[in-house]
Amino acid sequence: MLVTMTREPERVEQAPASLEDLLTAVASGDRAAFAELYDRTAPRVLGLIKRLLIDHSQSEEVAQEVFLEIWQTATRYQPTKGAAVTWMLTMAHRRAVDRVRASQSSRDRDVRIGIRDYEPGFDQVSEAVEVSVEHQRVAKALARLTELQRQAVQLAYYGGLSHSEIAARLSIPIGTVKTRLRDGMIRLRDELGVVP
């Protein structure tokens, strides 16, 4: 499932346009800018979606919806409010979660999540491939969470489970799930140095 690919190309001669610049150009109807934005972000967007949906063709369907939405709503993107990649990945995650919950019966999902549990953990996977800087940073930050926090955050974000599903799965009260998710996010935010 891991594929070698070109990430954002390093250009020596000429500074590449930032993703924010590209998105701003897309907002004015620039289709070439959209193509470049797509080329530079599609593997990441699809990677996130596929992490939740597993199935490749379904993941591509959702990725297509996401990029179409990016094209249509780029006019609404405000560079002052955050990075372009944050805006895009937030949209992709929301849509992937919606698809997970819409398309899977609970039994299918249990099977799917069960399979994921046997996949190697975050750290092992990362060693097998060229590891991105973000990947290393996030893996390090996740390692600073308590086991219980990490489990809850990963089930929510990478599993697409709702807090009540997490509660049922771990046999703990919903209130406890919410607290773990919030505490986990506070620690991740601090470890990752996210500043307002």
Partner 1 sequence: MSAREDEDYGSWAGAYALDALTPDERNRYEQYLSRSEDARAEAAEFGDTAALLGSATEPVAPSPELRANLLAAIASTPQLPAEDPAPSDETAQRAREDVLAGASTLGGNVIQPAAGSKAARRWSRPVAMLAAAAAVVVLGVGVAGGTGLLNPQSEQQQAISALEDADDLQRVEATATDGTPVSVLWSEELASAAITSDDMPELADDLVYQLWMIRDGETIPAGLMEDGETSAVMDGELHQGDVIGITVEPAGGSEAPTTAPILLQAT
Residue 18 binds partner 1 (CB under 8 A): no
Taking CB under 8 A as the criterion, the residue among 19, 113, 145, 161 binding partner 1 is 161
User: Residue 21's closest CA among 37, 35, 10, 8?
Assistant: 37
Residue 21 binds partner 1 (CB under 8 A): no
Q: Which stretch binds partner 1 (CB under 8 A): 15-23, 106-114, 124-132?
A: 124-132
Residue 92 binds partner 1 (CB under 8 A): yes
Tokens of 141: 């930050």
At closest approach, how far in Å is the CB of 10 from partner 1?
16
Residue 148 binds partner 1 (CB under 8 A): no
Residue 60 binds partner 1 (CB under 8 A): yes
At closest approach, how far in Å is the CB of 46 from partner 1?
5
User: Residue 84's closest CA among 45, 31, 30, 43?
Assistant: 45
Q: Which stretch binds partner 1 (CB under 8 A): 15-23, 109-117, 156-164?
A: 156-164
Taking CB under 8 A as the criterion, the residue among 20, 21, 55, 69 binding partner 1 is 69
d(CA 159, CA 169): 12
Cβ proximity to partner 1: between 14 and 128 the closer is: 128
Residue 63 binds partner 1 (CB under 8 A): yes
Taking CB under 8 A as the criterion, the residue among 109, 112, 116, 135 binding partner 1 is 135
Cβ proximity to partner 1: between 14 and 80 the closer is: 80
